[in-house]
Amino acid sequence: MSRLKRLGTAAAFAVLAAGAGMPAVAQNLFAPAVLVNDDVVTGYEIEQRLQFLTLLNAPGATRDAVIETLIDERLREQAVDAAGLEITPEGLAAGMSEFAARANLEGEEMVSRLEEAGVARESFEDFISIGVTWRDLIAARFGRRLEISEDEIDRALGSTTDSGGIRVLVSEIIIPAPPEQREEVNAVADQIAASASAEEFSEYARRYSATATRDQGGRLPWQQLSNLPPVLRPLLLALAPGEVTAPIAIPDAVALFQLRDIEETGDPVEEYAAIEYATYYLPGGRSQAGLNAASKLRARVDICDDLYGVAKGKPEEILERQSLPPGEIPQDIAIELSKLDPGEVSTALTRSGGETLVFLMLCGRTSVINEEVAREDAAAALRERTINTYAQSLLAQLRADARIVFP
C-alpha cells in the first residue's frame, strides 16, 4: 500500500480510535473528507496540498480544486497499484530533484523550505511519487503509440518540407500577481480562460494586462511560430482560432494567450541556437516610480552594452546578461523576448513579489547550427502532448467508473 493510501487510512483510523478524547478540530482535520472507491482523502491532506500550492504560487489553489485533484490522484494511484508498479527510492529522489530544479533548488533544500512553511516531507514525496508512477504507467500502456512522424515534427517546428512555415495571430494577457493578490488574480485568470470571443478577451486585456499591448486589447501582429518560446508552440497548435490557453503561472504573474488566426506561409523558417538578453532590475515594481525609472533608463540606452555604463558603481546583481538556448530561457522572459527586436525593451515583468521591475532588453539571436537538435526537441514535445492526451483519456475513464462519496 502506498504512502498516500497509508496516510489517508491511518488518519481515518486515528479518528475512530481517539473518539471523544480527541479535540474536535483535530477530528475534523483527520476525518475522511472524500471516499474514492475504498480509499480515503482526509482534511489534513487537503490542507497540506493547499499550503503546498500556495507556496508555489500556483493558479487555482482553492479548496474545491484541491479536492478534485486529490480525487484524481487516488484514481491514478489505484490504477498504478493494479498494474503492480512501485517507485524506487532512486526514482523518488530523482523526481524530487527534478521538481526542485524548477525553482533552482536541490531536492533536500526544497524539502527543508517546505517543512519550514508547514508542508510535511511525506506530502511532498506523495505528490512526486504518484506523478512519477502514473507517468510510468501511461508510458508502459501506450508507449507503442508514441511514434512521431517527420510531418508532425515539421508542423511543430512551424516548417514544411519545402521550407515553408506557420505564422500565428495571437492576443496576450499578463496579469501581475503579487502574493497578496494571488487568489484574486487566479480567479480572474480562470474567467479569462473561458473567453468566448476575441472582443471579450481584448476587453479583459485592457482591464488587467501589464503588457505594452493592453491598449490594443492584447493584440499582437502576425508572428512566425518558430519565434515563439518552445513551451508555447504546442499550446497554440492545440488551439482552434478563438480559443484561449489555460492560465500559465510565471514569476509574479499569470499569462494567457488567445489564438486569433493561423496560416501556412512559404517563408523560410529560421531556428535559433541561442538568444542573448540583458535584465536590469529597478526598485518599485510596476509602481509609477518604477515605471518612470524604466522610462528614463530607456532614454539612455540603445543596445545592451549601454547598460554596463548605467550599472557602473552599483551592486553587481543589478544587471544580468545571458545567452541561452530558447528552451532554457525562463518562460516569462522567453515570452517577452519573442516580441522584441535587438535593442528593444520590455517592462512587463517583475520579481521579488512585484517589488522589482525587470527592464528586459534583447541583445541578439544566434541562428541554429544543428537543426537536428531542434527536431529532437520538437519530437519530445509532441510525445509529451500525446502522453498527456492518453493520460487524460484514461483518467476520465477511471473517474466515470469510480464510486466517489463525500461523507
Residues 155-207: tens digit of each pLDDT: 665 543 333 478 899 999 999 988 888 889 999 999 999 988 999 999 999 99
What nine digits make up the cell of 368? 541554429
CB 281 within 8 A of CB 227: no
Helix axes 43-55, 121-142, angle to 10 degrees: 90
pLDDT at 13 over 50: no
Q: Are 278 and 345 in contact (CB under 8 A)?
A: no
Give Cα 274 to chain centroid, integer Å. Answer: 22
Nearest to 55 by CA among 141, 135, 123: 123
Q: What is the pLDDT of residue 89?
A: 93
Examine the pLDDT at 12 and tell me if it is beyond 70: no
Arithmetic mean of pLDDT, 59-73: 88
The arithmetic mean of pLDDT across residues 70-91, rounded, is: 94
- Please tell me the predicted confidence (pLDDT) of residue 144: 66
Q: Rounded CA gap, 282 and 334, in Å?
A: 20
What is the residue-averaged pLDDT of the chain?
84
Residue 102, Cβ density class (10 Å: 0-12 exposed, 13-18 middle, ≥19 buried): exposed
Amino acid at 233: R
Q: Using CA atoms, how far apart are residues 183 and 175, in angstroms rounded to an integer?
A: 12
Listed in order, strand segments (DSSP E) in 101-221 are 165-176
pLDDT digit string, tens, across residues 134-146: 989 988 888 766 6
Q: Residue 8's pLDDT is what?
A: 42
Q: Which of 321, 299, 301, 322 is nearest to 310 (CA)?
A: 301
Q: How far apart are CA 61 and CA 345, in angstroms?
A: 33
Grid cell of 232 as nine digits:
508555447
HEC sequence for 147-205: CCCHHHHHHHCCECCCCCEEEEEEEEEEEECCHHHHHHHHHHHHHHHCCCCHHHHHHHH
Task: Specify which residues 165 forms β-bridges with.
Answer: 159, 265
| Residue with more model confidence, 317 or 407 | 317
pLDDT tens profile 380-400: 777 777 777 888 889 999 999
pLDDT band at 317 (very low <50, low <70, confident <90, very high): very high
pLDDT bracket for residue 22 (50, 70, 90) = very low
CA pair distance 307, 286, nearest whole angstrom: 20
pLDDT tens figures, 329-354 = 998 899 999 999 999 999 999 998 88
Q: What is the pLDDT of residues 261-293, one digit of tens each?
A: 998 876 666 677 789 999 999 999 989 999 999
Structure confidence at residue 218 (pLDDT):
94
